[in-house]
Chain A
Amino acid sequence: MSCGAFAFKDALVAEIARRGLQDEALVVATGCNGFCERGPILLVHPDGVFYQRLSSADVPLLVEEHLVKGRPVPRLMYVPPEGGLPVPKMADIEFFKHQRLIVLRNRGRIDPEKIEEYIAYDGYEGASKALGRMTPEEIVAEVSEAGLRGRGGAGFPTGRKWDLCRREPGSPKYLICNGDEGDPGAFMDRSVLEADPHAVLEGMIIGAKAIGAARGFIYIRDEYPLAVSRIGIALGQAREMGLLGRDILGTGFDFDLEIVRGAGAFVSGEETALIASIEGQRAYPRQRPPYPAQSGLWGRPTVINNVETWANVPSIIRRGAAWFSSLGTETSKGTKIFSLVGKINNTGLVEVPMGIRLRDIVYAVGGGIPQGRDFKAVQIGGPSGGCIPKALLDLPIDYESLTQAGAMMGSGGMIVMDEDTCMVDIALYFLRFTQEESCGKCSPCRIGTRQMAEILARITAGEGSLEDLEKLEALAATVKRGSLCGLGQTAPNPVLSTLRYFRDEYLAHIVDRVCPAGVCKSLIRFTIDPEKCVGCLLCLKACPVKAISGERKKVHVIDQDACIRCGACLVACPAKVRAVIKHTGGKAGASREGATAPKDA
């Protein structure tokens, strides 16, 4: 969408009409394909040919060559980063080859605003089976045996949660879909809600039968208007077909869903805060126990699950627990969607079996680090998670192994970092996020995250001391153990994890007053090498604060006091010249040459 896909589609439709091919070639706008890096993307069926990075200008050639003459166009196909021949078929592209699509199975092949297309691909079969031929106990047993664990972050066994709620004597019971997706860098729930909304609806219908609920809520963060719209359309279509509402499919089972739009805060993704939000209250978390399964929405037994968790359910019921549990590891079954972002060639959404090695995600699926930089770490789990360093690249991705390594599965956000990323800066970034999003109810999180963020800010400004590290660790313990909810309890994780694996980097900032990655503005400076400078005025013009002085063909000089360390000069200086140098280490303290321009691609 943001890369001009709609414009491309319109151009394609127009050209097909102009060539009189509208009865032979159908253009379907599907949801997110996952390979975000390469959009707009076109898949030609039945050939399975994959085109990427298209623009409206490519339309005439594509229609002429592929649709009319049957000759696929290599120029518009995917070429791997390391070079070589174009890869025509999607199934052969590394990015897709290693993925196993369960939640994203309808990716790229249905129009999310047409329920018929969802149904055509075995849609609502699971619901039909659950409602018509299974008892609540059987449904719960199937989900339990499958080993599905909550995909929102904590990984609690879904079947057990459903069973606890099913057994609760209270009524009425409620179902909630947590579509608040607040982690920065996570957008898998968005993709499911927008591209395959019926998967969520079907999962919830099955869940409703399992626990005995007649009413459910889909809580979608207000920043996802398209998701709200698509779910709304899906609900309408499902009701029209008798798949929601009274006496679903003639089985006598009543269930309906409504959308609740989010209140605009990260904390409303916490389950008890989300429940408070639906109740119309301020999104403050509540002490657990009691857990929502016993006392949730309006004090009634409530099952609340993440979007991805719900979307797994129809496949489990349709294909069976044995099939699902054949994927993954001993303790973590099935697949997980990760949003691969950051310093990675193939940014996008990937659904891979649990147990896949991190190395394979980064290099095989992800295509490695751009511009030949060195891998440094992967942040997994967003602001609640931690980083996995190079030494642990062979770690199999599952709930337990990630927790042991000091990270967390979380929502599945995977931010890849290279040698140009400062880990202290990353910790500060996440802590600032948590601090700003802290609801403020409990003292340890509200005040503790602020104190931690201030210490980190001082460290990145080159004003830290070794005592600060002790304080940071003590604070982390207080916040972790004292906080009321998951936000506070996991807020120190990025700090603890970076301290564990990158302590040297902290010490460099504190003792040497140096930022090895060359990021922290107070600890870097830019200079112009007088022997290389050709006096071209390019950096002078690029500088936003006019800190560079010089004349044509005369050596330019950067005024260090005026410089704001934005790096525009480094980018402006021509590749042949490379006169601008970034150093780390201030005037006082060791000066170490940091990275200069990127290595040749």
Chain B
Amino acid sequence: MKLLIDGRAVTAEGTPTLLEVARANGIFVPALCEHPALEPYAACRLCLVEVKGRKGFVPACSTRAEDGQEVMTATAEIQALRKGILELILAEHPHACLICAEKPSCDDLKSTIRKTGEVTGCVLCPANGRCELQRVVEAMGLGLVPFPSHRRPGEVRRDDPFIDRDNSLCILCGRCVRVCQEIRGASVLTFVSRGSETVIGTALDRRLLDSACQFCGACVDVCPTGSLMDRGGRYDRPAEAGTKAVCALCGQGCRLNAGIREGRIAGTSPDMDGPVNRGQACVKGRFLVGPALSHPRRLLKPLVRENGSLREAGWEEALDLAAKRLAAFAAGEVAVSASAQSSCEDLFVLQRFAAEVLRAPAVAGPWTGSAAAGLRDLGRTAGRALPLNFRMTDIDHARTIVVIGEDLPVTQPIVGLHVHRAASMGAEVIKVDAGKRALGLVSRLDRSKPAVILFGPSLVGGADGPARLAALEAAAAATGGRIIALDREANVRGGLAIAEAFPTLPASTGARALYLAGPHPKLKPGEAELVIVQGSYGDEISALADIVFPEATSFEAEGTFVNVEGRIQVSRPAVAPPGEARPGWRILQDLAGRLGAKGFGYGSEADVRAALAEAAPAFDAAALAASNEGPAFLAEGPAGAAAFAGRDAGRGRGRARVAAPLDPDDYKGLSLVLENKSLKLVRGRRCPRS
């Protein structure tokens, strides 16, 4: 369609609002209550414009553009009205600095003055520099507020972890209420009282901890001022730089913006363009990445055991020692464990190392007992293709959703948002434990309302797991439903697909040595003659090890992760690894070299990926190469299945037993829920669990 804005002819497609059209054409129209992820609200009234033929003014944020419209955004009348409205907003928001003429020189002098409790101006405000009200005032050039000021009532609420609330800065744009209700489905924040007395609050003015708050931080992200604030970052200076990274703290595959300051992650927030999360995150991705990376248990230097205790060593010494000791073991005598939270590059090289260098029977990984593996195995035994891949957006259109044994906000937060969207469009959501009831329920589903059945590892655990899953799948198929496997760790799908590329060698008598690059059940001293740990966090097992290699986390190295959908995403490093930590595959590369192995000379992660694509057909080379431009998914389907026909279903079980960490808050052995006081408070609540 064609329309005129301020006399300029512009074109538009689809059903944009006037605000969207204006912005797309570089025309400034202030708006504070509007947010691209939320329904238009038309409350702040700053975006009022004139449309020829329509009486008065209309809000650009909620008015659809129409062909042939003539829109004026900046007449003298509109500017006066806008100024009047902004003056009123500022009459109830501390504005001393906003309109001060000394602003530029002041910023240089007052750099960390934010420690005062009460905000009376920008320099004292935690949102200084990232505040949308600042931007509007600057763009409109206001120098005076001709009204007496009123301080909005209430103390700063500092009684919750992660999020502080300062009502004096609130401009009642309503974005927090709307995001919590429309997108998160938690409806924790609402408007309380009326008129000038209106404040944003919780039911009965409870703490967020005593409400259904998931602490996802969405309210903080949409708040245009400093009213809702990340408690941890309150007193920090703004980040110096930013990068994007794929979060590896769970299996959703959210993309985050990481703020960097002095080489460390200052804070993370969700990427609006993240293909999976679209601007949403969860408490871990939003608030705990930095704390996880800088946790005191981080392994920073290689360690070797000497005279009964571990001491720091250089890489050369540690690698030489490891190579020398490993060389002493024959095929099948070394058991290897891997983590489903490691990248595909790390896992591929580890699998190669285990198979070719150590000649271990197999690599034990948590994908073995996973929901995805269960579904894949069922497909093979049943002889039909049961797709593992799905899109989270598929859930939006389901008419019925059955959630079996998963507390979605904790284990599958983004999936949970799609379930909420479906529910708000009328879908029926049924939550049930992974027991007999689930089967009965699924059998009785209404055929006319296609169902999506979400299940996790709890359904497939134990000896009767496969049978249970088979019964469920049959019941689902009979009612036209579809089952979707949801695992918790970041790279279960990747690990599973890579493991398929490696044949299982005949089992041997017993492992005498352990190479632990992943979780392992409790170790007894003397259980093995040699224990090498490759990990990011020290624990009881590494304390008993002979050699410890410090490994970089996913945020500190380039790595490919495959999320629950089967989506392949490459994450670039946000920061350098701390201390002497190194990416896992590089450690193995060096070790392999010292053991005389060939073909481990990868120059970069890209080289590893190329090799992976060749070895595992599920990883299409072109897709991998393009995976950050467009969606790339693991290849599935008859070709994929046939390629593995004949391989027995018992693969993947090795001598090193897997201690499957079903704790969704565990990251590479760091228990965030136990070792982060704030998360402990959040998880420790008596919330109804499904």
Does A403 belong to the interface (CB within 8 Å)? no
Contact B146 A444 (CB under 8 A): no
Give the distance in Å from the alpha carbon of A409 to the alpha carbon of B282 in the complex.
54
The distance in angstroms between the C-alpha atoms of A443 and B83, with both chains bound, is: 12
Known: A282-B190, A482-B48, A484-B43. A448 touches B174 (CB 8 A): no
Q: Which 9 A-B pairs have the closest CB atoms?
A: A478-B84, A440-B198, A287-B42, A447-B88, A438-B195, A440-B195, A482-B45, A287-B62, A441-B43
Is B363 in contact with chain A by the CB < 8 A criterion?
Answer: no
Q: Establish whether residues B57 and A446, one from each chain, have CB atoms under 8 Å apart when the complex forms.
A: no
Residues 581-630 of B contacting A (Cβ, < 8 Å): none
Inter-chain contact A440/B45, CB cutoff 8 Å: no
Q: Is A481 an interface residue when CB atoms closer than 8 A count as contact?
A: yes
| Chain B residues whose CB sits within 8 angstroms of the CB of A448 once the complex forms | 88
Contact between chains at B89 and A443 (CB < 8 Å): yes
Check A443/B194 contact, CB under 8 A, given A451-B91, A474-B84, A475-B84: no
Assess whether B171 is in contact with A437, with CB atoms less than 8 Å apart: no
With A287-B42, A446-B198 in contact, do A478 and B190 touch (Cβ < 8 Å)?
Answer: no
Q: Write out, one digit per residue, whether chain B residues 133-155 have a CB within 8 A of any chain A CB (1) or not (0).
A: 00000000000001110100000
Contact partners of A477 in chain B: CB under 8 A: 81, 84
Given the known interface contacts A438-B196, A475-B84, A484-B42, the answer about A447 and B57 at a Cβ–Cβ threshold of 8 Å is no
Q: Which residues of B contact A302 (CB under 8 A)?
A: none
Query: What CA separation (Å) do A477 and B83 show in the bound complex?
Result: 12
Pair B195/A482 contact, Cβ less than 8 Å: no
5 extra A-B contacts, CB within 8 A, seeds A265-B194, A451-B147, A481-B57: A436-B195, A441-B174, A451-B148, A482-B57, A484-B43
Residues of A within 8 A of B198 (CB): 440, 446
Contact partners of B43 in chain A: CB under 8 A? 441-443, 484
Residue among B88, B147, B197 facing the most chain A CB atoms (10 A cut-off) = B88
Whether B42 contacts A482 by the Cβ 8 Å rule is no
A436 to B197, CA, bound (A): 9
B84 adjacent to A439 (CB under 8 Å): no
Partner of A440, one of B85, B88, B172, B190: B172
Contacts of B147 in A (CB 8 A): 451, 471
A341 to B193, CA, bound (A): 32
Q: Interface digits, A429-455 against B, CB 8 Å rule (1 contact, 0 not)? A: 000000111111111101110110010
Q: Is A346 an interface residue (CB 8 A)?
A: no
Question: Across the two chains, which residue of chain B brings its CB closest to A266?
Answer: B194
Chain A residues within 8 Å of B46, by CB: 443
User: Could you tell me which residues of chain A, from 279 to 329, have a CB within 8 Å of some CB in chain B?
Assistant: 282, 284, 286-287
Digitize B24-51: 1 where CB-to-A-CB distance is under 8 Å, 0 elsewhere. Answer: 0000000000000000101111101000
* Chain A positions near chain B (C-beta within 8 angstroms): 265, 267, 282, 284, 286-287, 435-444, 446-448, 450-451, 454, 471, 474-475, 477-478, 481-484
Name the A residues within 8 Å of B172 (CB-CB).
440-441, 443, 446
**CB-based contact B62/A443 at 8 Å:** no
Q: Chain A at the B interface: mostly helix, strand, loop or mixed?
A: helix
Distance (Å) between the CB of A414 and the closest chain B CB? 27
Q: Render B649-687 as a binary contact track against A, CB cut-off 8 A, 1 for contact.
A: 000000000000000000000000000000000000000
CB of B45 within 8 A of CB of A444, answer: yes
Contact with A along B88-112 (1 / 0, CB 8 A): 1101100000000000000000000
**Distance A286 CA – B89 CA, assembled complex (angstroms):** 20
Q: Which residues of A contact B578 (CB under 8 A)?
A: none
Q: For A282, list chain B residues within 8 Å (CB).
A: 190-191
Q: Is B369's CB within 8 Å of the partner chain A?
A: no
Picked from B44, B92, B194, the residue with its CB within 8 Å of the CB of A439 is: B194
Q: Which residues of A lie under 8 Å from residue B195 when comparing CB positions?
A: 435-440, 446, 450
Which residues of the other chain, B, contact A265 by a CB distance below 8 angstroms?
194
Name the A residues within 8 Å of B194 (CB-CB): 265, 267, 437-440
Q: Say yes or no: B40 contacts A287, CB within 8 Å.
A: yes
Which chain B residues (535-580) contact chain A, with CB distance < 8 Å? Answer: none
A464, B391: Cα distance in complex, Å: 65
Question: Is B59 part of the contact surface with A, judged by Cβ < 8 Å?
Answer: yes
How far is A265 from B193 in the complex, measured between Cα atoms in Å? 11
18 sample A-B contacts, Cβ–Cβ < 8 Å, listed by A number = A265-B194, A282-B191, A435-B195, A436-B195, A438-B195, A440-B194, A442-B45, A443-B45, A446-B195, A450-B196, A451-B148, A454-B148, A471-B146, A475-B84, A478-B85, A482-B81, A484-B42, A484-B45
Q: Which residue of B lies closest to A478 (CB)?
A: B84
Contact of A447 among B191, B196, B197 (CB under 8 A): B196
- Taking a contact as CB atoms under 8 Å apart, the answer to whether A443 and B171 are in contact is yes
Return the chain A residue nearest B174 by Cβ: A441
Find the A residue at minimum CB distance from B84.
A478
Q: How far is the CA of A216 from the CA of B601 in the complex (A)?
A: 77
Cα of A477 to Cα of B193 in the assembled complex, Å: 26
Assess whether B81 is in contact with A447, with CB atoms less than 8 Å apart: no
Could you tell me the distance between the alpha carbons of A320 and B194 in the complex, rounded to whole angstroms?
A: 45
Q: Which residues of B are found within 8 Å of A478, using beta-carbon distances?
A: 81, 84-85, 88
B56 interfacial by beta-carbon distance below 8 Å: yes
Known: A435-B196, A436-B195, A478-B81. A442 touches B44 (CB 8 A): yes
Contacts of A439 in B (CB 8 A): 194-195
Q: What mask results when residues 168 to 179 of chain B are scored 1 for a CB within 8 Å of chain A, else 0?
A: 000110100000
Q: Which residues of B contact A441 (CB under 8 A)?
A: 43, 172, 174
Complex: A478 Cα to B89 Cα, angstroms: 12
Q: Mark interface residues in B386-399 (1 if CB within 8 Å of A CB, else 0).
A: 00000000000000
Chain B residues, Cβ within 8 Å of A454: 148
* B151 → chain A closest CB, angstroms: 13
Which residues of A have CB within 8 Å of B59?
287
Q: Which residues of A contact B40 (CB under 8 A)?
A: 287
Which chain B residues border A475 with CB–CB below 8 Å?
84
Q: How far is the CB of B190 from chain A (nearest CB, A)?
A: 7
By a CB distance below 8 angstroms, the chain B residues around A286 are 42
Complex formed: what's the CA distance from A454 to B59 in Å? Answer: 28
Alpha-carbon separation in the docked complex, A448 to B196 (Å): 10
- Closest CB-CB distance, B540 to chain A, in whole Å? 53
| A440 CB contacts on chain B under 8 angstroms | 172, 191, 193-198
List the B side residues contacting A442 at CB < 8 Å: 42-45
Q: How far is the CA of A481 from the CA of B81 in the complex (A)?
A: 8
Residues in chain B near residue A443, CB distance under 8 A: 43-46, 85, 88-89, 171-172
Given the known A-B contacts A287-B59, A482-B48, A482-B57, are A444 and B191 also in contact in the complex, defined by CB atoms under 8 Å?
Answer: no
Most buried by A among B45, B91, B171: B45
Q: What is the minimal beta-carbon distance from A269 to any residue of chain B, in angstroms?
A: 14
CA A286 – CA B39 in complex, angstroms? Answer: 12
Which of the listed residues A284, A286, A287 has the most CB atoms from chain B within 10 Å of its own CB? A287
Residues from chain B with a CB closer than 8 A to the CB of A435 are 195-196
How far is the CB of B569 from the nearest CB of chain A, in Å?
A: 37
A438 to B191, CA, bound (A): 13
Interface residues of B in 166-222 (CB under 8 A from A): 171-172, 174, 190-191, 193-198
Residues of A within 8 A of B42 (CB): 286-287, 442, 484
Contacts of A451 in B (CB 8 A): 88, 91, 147-148
Give the distance in Å from the alpha carbon of A31 to the alpha carbon of B357 in the complex.
99
Cα(A436)–Cα(B193), bound, Å: 11
Residues of A within 8 A of B92 (CB): 447
Complex Cα gap A51–B193 (Å)? 48
**Which B41-92 residues have a C-beta within 8 angstroms of A?**
42-46, 48, 56-57, 59, 62, 81, 84-85, 88-89, 91-92
A439, A440, A450, A475 interface centre (most CB from chain B within 10 Å) = A440
Query: Which B residues, 280 to 318, have Cβ-Cβ distances below 8 Å to chain A?
Result: none
Q: Which residue of B lies closest to A282 (CB)?
A: B191
The interface residues of chain B lying within 8 Å CB-to-CB of A446 are 172, 195-196, 198
* Chain B residue, CB-CB nearest to A264: B194
CA distance A428 to B62 in the complex (A): 34
Distance of A521 from chain B, by nearest CB (Å): 22
- Chain B: CB-nearest residue to A437: B195
| CB contact under 8 A between A447 and B91, given known A265-B194, A440-B194, A478-B81 | yes
Question: Please, how many angstroms separate the alpha-carbon atoms of A258 and B293 in the complex?
Answer: 60
